[in-house]
């Protein structure tokens, strides 16, 4: 089997010219944008606009990367639109706050919202035979995903594949969390979503990634890389290896390896461009609550004992109720202008942690999980 090429290009800052040159080089390493995208019709560029957040927080795809990708796509496509469905706020608000709206104005592309959608059948789906996708995703001639490299409380990591979750409009995302509560089944659902969206090209903004308590409250982590491929699974696998993380600890990449849905194994990927060794990161922090995955098969009690639970920090909570609205099983109530979580009914999806604008929801490990952590760390030191 031919190896899947992934372009890896060094880019150490968001200086507009440096980003433009890096993105252009990455596309050239893959044969040029002309060979990757159709010349007829409109292309949809799909960044990560998770919430209305400033670019330096590393929560959203950086506007300079979006601008550089739109500029590349404009070389070939008849039209380019930029869109996403944020987890918090609306598309235009998130685009303005993140600088993406201005970046689009600079290059004459328009930002569109993902409010309306359409049922798309997927008979070959492993778990999910149908998706409700945003209209621009269905109508575009080609989709170019421009993801941000970040850790993620529930999946461990979010990049090129998980970025596509924003193709599901608004609050409907909560339904998928309710239907696919386990990490493994959620990961498999993401693979089906990938098959439904079929992005033509996937770009990963890892100039400054996020580690620790991502995807919203982690540490901006200079990484110095832009990755591009036609295979988003390969992009994520390469990025994680650069961070010193085995890709198959991420449920959707484990599922991809098992189902042959994308290049995960090192020998199936050809990294072109700059040498991977020059990017190696030694202390990339994965999020709390994401260890001991393999023990989850022991079910409910074990799940609650070994995964982190969301805990409201009363000093930080402003009573905005964003978490209440984003909780898929609706187990958060408000009392005296503070959020209160019913832990007995919590499914540990961490949407509240992701969406809280004040960073007032901590993910806290219980005694069993902490003991396991210490045991694993002591084995690693031997
Ligand atoms: S926990 Fe966060 S999202 Fe929930 S009410 Fe408090 S500040 Fe708002
Ligand atoms: S309380 Fe938080 S982690 Fe628990 S189900 Fe609600 S959103 Fe998910």
- Residue at token pair 């007032």: 360
Element (H, E) at 10: strand 4-10
Residue nearest to atom 8 of ligand 2 (CA): 349
Same domain as 305, residue 261: no
Distance between Cα 175 and ligand 1 center (Å):
21
Same domain as 353, residue 327: yes
Higher pLDDT, 173 or 307: 173
**Quick check: is 285 in a domain?**
no
Same domain as 356, residue 246: no
Specify the pLDDT at position 304.
63
- Ligand 1 site residues, Cβ closer than 6 angstroms: 312, 317-323, 339, 356, 358, 360-361
What is the C-alpha separation between 171 and 4, in angstroms, rounded? 35
State yes or no: pLDDT of 302 exceeds 70. Answer: no
% of the chain with per-residue pLDDT over 90: 87
pLDDT in tens, 67-91: 999 999 999 999 999 999 999 999 9
Higher pLDDT, 371 or 180: 180
Positive/negative CA dihedral, 174, 120, 141, 270: positive
Distance between Cα 63 and ligand 2 center (Å):
30
Closest atom of ligand 1 relative to the 316 alpha carbon? 7
The mean predicted confidence, pLDDT, of the chain is 93
Distance between Cα 122 and ligand 2 center (Å):
29
CA geometry: angle at 350 spanning 211 and 176, to 5°? 115
- Residue at token pair 């990927």: 269
CA geometry: angle at 259 spanning 120 and 189, to 5°? 40
- Residue 18 CB less than 6 A away from ligand 2: no
Q: Give the number of the ligand closest to the Cα of residue 348.
A: 2
Which residues have C-beta within 8 Å of that of residue 372, sequence separation ≥ 6? Answer: 291, 292, 295, 306
Same domain as 174, residue 132: yes
pLDDT in tens, 228-251: 999 999 999 999 999 999 999 999
What is the C-alpha separation between 79 and 13, in angstroms, rounded? 28
* Secondary structure class of 202 (helix, strand, coil): strand
State yes or no: pLDDT of 10 exceeds 90. Answer: yes
pLDDT in tens, 83-138: 999 999 999 999 999 999 999 999 999 999 999 999 999 999 999 999 999 999 99
Distance between Cα 2 and ligand 1 center (Å):
49
Q: Which two tokens stand for residue 45?
A: 């560029």
Same domain as 240, residue 160: yes
Q: Which CATH number fits the domain that encloses residue 90?
A: 3.40.50.11440
State yes or no: pLDDT of 290 exceeds 90. Answer: no
- Residue 201 CB less than 6 A away from ligand 2: no
pLDDT in tens, 175-216: 999 999 999 999 999 999 999 999 999 999 999 999 999 999
- Residue 350 CB less than 6 A away from ligand 2: yes
Q: Which two tokens stand for residue 32?
A: 């040029």
Cβ contact 114:83 at 8 Å: yes
Q: What is the mean pLDDT of residues 41-61?
A: 98
**Quick check: is 286 in a domain?**
no
Q: Which of 279, 310, 326 is the C-terminal boundary of a domain?
A: 279
What is the C-alpha separation between 333 and 371, in angstroms, rounded? 31
Cβ contact 30:5 at 8 Å: yes
Q: Look up the domain containing 44 and give its range.
A: 4-279
State yes or no: pLDDT of 51 exceeds 50. Answer: yes
Closest atom of ligand 1 relative to the 334 alpha carbon? 5
Distance between Cα 328 and ligand 2 center (Å):
7
Specify the pLDDT at position 288.
73
Same domain as 343, residue 233: no
């Amino acid at each position: 089997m031919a190896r899947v090429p992934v372009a890896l290009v060094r880019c150490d800052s968001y200086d507009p010219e440096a980003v433009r040159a890096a993105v252009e080089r990455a596309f050239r390493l893959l044969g040029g944008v002309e060979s990757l995208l159709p010349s007829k019709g409109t292309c949809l560029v799909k960044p990560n606009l998770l919430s209305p957040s400033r670019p330096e927080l590393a929560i959203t795809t950086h506007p300079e990367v979006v601008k550089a990708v739109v500029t590349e796509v404009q070389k070939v496509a008849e039209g380019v639109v930029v869109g996403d469905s944020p987890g918090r706020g609306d598309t235009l608000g998130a685009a303005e706050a993140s600088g993406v709206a201005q970046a689009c104005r600079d290059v004459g592309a328009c930002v569109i919202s993902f409010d309306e959608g359409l049922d798309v059948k997927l008979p070959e789906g492993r778990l999910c035979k149908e998706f409700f996708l945003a209209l621009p995703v269905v109508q575009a001639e080609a989709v170019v995903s421009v993801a941000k490299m970040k850790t993620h409380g529930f999946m461990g990591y979010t990049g090129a594949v998980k970025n596509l979750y924003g193709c599901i409009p608004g609050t409907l995302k909560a339904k998928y969390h309710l239907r696919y509560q386990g990490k493994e089944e959620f990961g498999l659902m993401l693979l089906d979503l990938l098959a439904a969206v079929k992005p033509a090209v996937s770009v990963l903004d890892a100039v400054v990634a996020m580690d620790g308590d991502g995807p919203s409250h982690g540490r901006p982590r200079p990484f110095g890389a832009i990755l591009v491929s036609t295979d988003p699974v390969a992009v994520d696998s390469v990025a994680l290896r650069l961070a010193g993380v085995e890709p198959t600890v991420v449920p959707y990449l484990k599922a991809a390896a098992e189902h042959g849905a994308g290049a995960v194994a090192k020998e199936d990927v050809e990294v072109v461009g700059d040498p991977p060794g020059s990017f190696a990161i030694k202390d990339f922090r994965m999020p709390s609550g994401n260890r001991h995955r393999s023990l989850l098969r022991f079910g409910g009690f074990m799940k609650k004992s070994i995964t982190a639970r969301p805990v409201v920090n009363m000093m930080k909570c402003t009573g905005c109720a964003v978490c209440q609205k984003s909780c898929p099983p609706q187990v958060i109530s408000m009392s005296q202008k503070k959020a209160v979580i019913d832990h007995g009914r919590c499914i540990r999806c961490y949407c509240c942690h992701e969406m809280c604008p004040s960073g007032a929801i901590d993910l806290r490990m219980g005694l069993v999980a902490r003991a396991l952590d210490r045991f694993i760390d002591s084995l690693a030191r031997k």
